[in-house]
A and B are shown apart, each in its own frame.
Chain A
Amino acid sequence: MTTGTDPAGHVNLRAVADCALLVEFENRIAESINDQVLNLSRQLEANPVAGIGEAVPGYRALLIHYDPLTIDFDSLCASIRPLLNRAATVPRSGKRWLVPVFYGGEAAPDLPQLANRHSLSEEEVIDIHSSTLYRVYMVGFAPGWTFLGGLDPRLHTPRLDSPRAEVPAGCISIGGQQTLIGGQAMPSGWNLIGQTPERTFAPERENPFFLAAGDEVAIRPIGQAEFDELSGQVAAGSRVSRELSSQ
């Protein structure tokens, strides 16, 4: 047997070739579904099963790597099912951050067009984008690439027809219903509207990572001068985002 559904429905356990298992929750983007993904991931950390390697969360699915020489697929499913049905007994570890963002300048080439498309001024776009408390659904694609949910529908914008060969680290962009904070420089087809001086991935630091799935992000708009100043502090090894107390 290589697939199965839990008694409560909506959850599918699917074998991915020989060494991985994909746990699929309901097929839509929602905080409650992402919570289920992260909860299962934490349940596995708290209740280790021999033969299970790392578990990688996405929006609505968790990919579990395992060693089939240690545990077979059916036994693996049998040890995961009880964790699915267990209520969220592991407390949510999400933190709330205030991240500085400069909307403008070289890092915002798509801001004028995006404002125009939605019949908004650039200032209105900045106001709308920076007044939402975002939820980190997933960190993935490349190190530190942080996918945020909760974008105001007035800013939903399709991806560019043709991706850019490289966008800078820290870029703030919009793709469809999502907005994201870029980690290291990568190719991307999302609309660039700003940049944070913060680094979400800094391999030379003892802890190279910053945001995690389940965290929340608020944005503090800054100007060019503060961006330059904070960039200097980041280069010297500081964190320029502030942790807010969660409710």
Chain B
Amino acid sequence: MNADISIGLRIHRITLLCQLQDLGRTGYQEFGVSRCGAMDRYSLRLANILAGNRQDMACLEFALAGAIFEVTADTMRAAFVGEFPVKINGQTQAANASYFLQAGDRLEIGATTGGIHGYLAISGGFAVEPQLGSCSTHLRSGLGGFGQPMTAGSILPVNLKQSPVMVGCYLPQAFARKSSRCIRAVRGPQSRHFSEIGVENFFDNAFSILRNSDRMGYRLDGNPIEHSGDGNIISEPVLPGSVQVPADGEPIVLMADCGTVGGYPKIATVISVDLGQLAQFAPGTEFVFDEISVEESQYLLREQEQRLDDLSRSMGAEIL
């Protein structure tokens, strides 16, 4: 680990929507600690692969807004994945690529032009101590991050690799997110708490994402879903991707920072492979849920993992 905290990225401009995230905190949900982690885990993993890292290393996650940094290391390799404009010393760069940076370089991430989450990975990773096994920021719990607010003038320390690869590389087109407006989901543990019409409405009608959505949950606007019961269950453990429907019939898709338990019936669960795609949708985006089986959701996951493994190998990244 780099003991010199003056080597890294000096912040010139940043917003509170930028957080350090990895693949999340596991093992403490029985004490109420949320998993957290990247909203779009797939994109975070791609950024790490491009940077030559293990896929689970902590990255800076940008939501909507970007940031401006100055490089204070002699050299470093960085990678960015997302639909945010990237400039180095004013020169526009291709996104979904890695870049070779030198001391004094100005790295500018603009506001998004599409999907709302982007990921900046540094080859070797940021120099931070994990808390409860993860670097993921959870502001309410006071867990994760750099141990101090990210403000203009402060430096985000990085672990330097001895000899960073001097050339950038691009993500093969096949790995870029498809702009699908269809989110696949499996029927949820309490799908029988809804009327047949309620379940049909859920899978047939379009929803749009409400403005009061956040890292805890995406609130959806659409035809209200009809319950067959009173809209309450005995509180039970939930997970990111769970779609709960309170008594008002407006679904909420639980996201990375969701609480560990919930007392509303769950009509569906968004599959792991598609949760990151949903996380990319801006408020107002219209989409539909497509019902698939457990077997299909696991087939799709295996296929994704195989592709990511192959990509890691071909890019010479450390294997997870």
Contact = CB atoms under 8 A, between A and B. Distances in A.
A201 B141 contact: yes
B255 to A, nearest CB: 14
Main secondary structure of the interface of A (DSSP, over half): loop
Interface in A160-192: 183-186
Interface residues of B, number: 43
Interface stretch (B28-36, B83-91, B116-124): B28-36
A144 B141 CA distance: 10
Nearest to A73: B294
Contacts of B143: 203
Contact of B31 (A20, A29, A201): A201
Contacts of A145: 32
Interface in B252-299: 259-261, 269-273, 293-294, 297-298
Interface stretch (A104-112, A115-123, A208-216): A208-216
Nearest to A203: B142
Interface string A12-43: 00111111101010011100000000000100
A223 interface: no
A63 B237 contact: yes
Interface stretch (B103-111, B158-166, B182-190, B311-319): B182-190
Contact of A59 (B235, B241, B272): B235
B234 A143 contact: no
A69 B305 contact: yes
Given A141-B260, A184-B141, A54 B29 contact: yes
B32 A18 contact: no
Given A57-B237, A61-B237, A140-B261, 6 more contacts: A29-B234, A58-B234, A68-B298, A142-B141, A143-B28, A204-B142
**3 residue pairs, one from A and one from B, having the closest CB atoms:** A63-B237, A140-B261, A17-B269
16 contacts: A14-B189, A17-B269, A17-B272, A54-B30, A57-B30, A58-B234, A58-B237, A60-B236, A63-B238, A65-B26, A65-B239, A138-B261, A140-B237, A140-B259, A184-B141, A203-B131
